[in-house]
Chain A
Amino acid sequence: MLSTIRLFILSTVFLATQSLAAAGPTAKGFGADDWLDKLYVVFTVIGLVAIITTILVILILRKNNN
């Protein structure tokens, strides 16, 4: 039991050494242009998710048709 608690506490120390706080305002000067610069990431992710989803749907439906 003690080792479990130690593991739990250590994991908090190593994984969460600072609060990330997904709240509050954005940084000074951060705005739409910065997102436009990262649109390639968003579109890549959309493509990736579309491919994964399509493959999974095909696998599900193919099994259903067999």
Chain B
Amino acid sequence: MSMTKTLSRFFSFEAVSVRTVAATAAMSYILQINAIIAGEPLYLIALYTLLPWLPIAFYEGIWKVKNYAAVAFLGIFTVMQIGHFAEHLIQVLQIDLANGTVACPPPIDNIANAARGVVLGARDALLEPSFYSVEQIIKPGKDGMPITGSDGQLLWGSAACAVFGQLDLEVVHLIWELIGLFGTAACLYFFPRNIFLWLAFAGLSWHALEHLTITYFYYFAQETLWEGFRQLWATYPTVGNSYVAHPVGKEEAMLNFYHAGGKFGLMAKHGMFHQLTGFAGMPGRAHLHMGYNMAITIPTVLGFLMEIRVIKNKYIEQAFGKLSSTELVDLSLRVKNRKFAKGDTVFSQGDVANNCFVISQGSAEIYLNKGESNETLIATLVSGQIFGEMGLLDKTANKRTATVVALSKLECLEIDAETFADLAAGGGSGDFQSDSTSANIKNLVEVRLAENRNA
């Protein structure tokens, strides 16, 4: 089974209908275009674009965990780690390629900053503070005033705090790190032989040292013992709701351990290692933490790719436990998810038979002569059980031998007639070579025939 096919299946919507996906995409585009026209900053455009996808991504995620168990959890976890790493990478690109200034979270167009903007003459006194975060920062010099380039122009650049820079807070970094540490441990609990996950786990343990230390200083080392400065900003709009922070000097302040230097952590430039050894060659905090996250995310992705090669649907495994691992993977990728409301007729006696089903959620009742005077309930089926196979096995009639009604909200995995014929044939030229499975299907047919006779 090719990796591309497996990945494409895993990352496609299986539980959510095409109509729902299309409606969500339309809603997302409408909100995105609306935000762009309204001149909203990048982080709000991104937020508007992502918001409509969150409910269906959450629903799909739960379905995947129910059907594919731990591999789905690892997959979702991997996507989250990639998203986190992307934020760190974007921040580094902003610094290196977009003349970015690390002032995170970015300054806000609040009352004080807006008032300085008015004093600077850069904004109308009647323009109230918007409380938007700035997207751009004019680079400050050592005196806290703007730096100008050789052409005498102010040096503008990005507020280098990635896309959602408002979340660039020590507590958020720590929480995410701990989610990563315990989440990877949970994945290892299910995949203890996955060497890549062990590497990610080691990286996360090391990374936890940095964030626990920094966060401790942030919250618990409050004595202000060091002379320092705080940068002052004036804020004003540039285009639409996009704001810039303009440095307007510094104010003297007594700083606590965190602000004096603890914020650099253990290994970054200006951090503990630098201070204790005098070695100034370490990267700055933004670059170092991007590196940490790369060292964590790459093995996590590799670990996921290793496990997804053998992804199996839990209910297919229950129904066809005698198949080999490779065959279970193959069959899991061939089935389609089908949903029925309570009381729906899945198929009726006498209909043409072109598929069979494995129940993944809910229950169904099988009736003979449904709706007639001699209507008989012959079986009630639950998750992991097959129905619809009888009509497929009788190739001459090729008709449903009973009526199936959803007893509750019903979700099934549909197996097409060709695949089922291959399964029922057992060893031979088909993709499924399990004689045991073939024998199991024959036994199941015997059971069903006996139920019919006793009805």
A residues whose Cβ falls under 8 Å from a Cβ of B: 1, 4-5, 8-9, 11-13, 15-23, 25-32, 34-36, 38, 41-42, 45-46, 48-49, 52-53, 56, 59-61, 63-64
Contact = CB atoms under 8 A, between A and B. Distances in A.
Contacts of B286: 22-23
A32 B260 contact: no
A28 B101 CA distance: 22
B185 A60 contact: yes
A29 B217 contact: no
A38 B131 contact: no
Contacts of A34: 226, 257, 260-261, 275
Given A22-B263, A32-B276, A56-B185, A49 B284 contact: no
B245 to A, nearest CB: 8
B227 A29 contact: yes
Nearest to B100: A23
Given A34-B257, A56-B185, A22 B132 contact: no
A12 B131 contact: yes
A18 B189 CA distance: 41
B169 A38 contact: no
B106 interface: yes
B212 A63 contact: no
Contacts of B208: 49, 52
Interface stretch (B1-9, B264-272, B325-333, B355-363): B264-272
B110 interface: yes
A11 B257 contact: no
Nearest to B110: A13
B270 A25 contact: yes
B192 A61 contact: yes
Interface string B83-121: 000000000000000000111111110100000000000
28 contacts: A1-B31, A8-B44, A8-B166, A11-B166, A15-B105, A19-B103, A19-B233, A20-B169, A23-B285, A26-B264, A27-B228, A27-B261, A28-B227, A30-B226, A30-B261, A31-B261, A38-B221, A38-B257, A41-B213, A42-B209, A49-B205, A49-B209, A56-B181, A56-B201, A59-B185, A60-B189, A63-B192, A64-B193
Contacts of A4: 51
Nearest to B285: A22
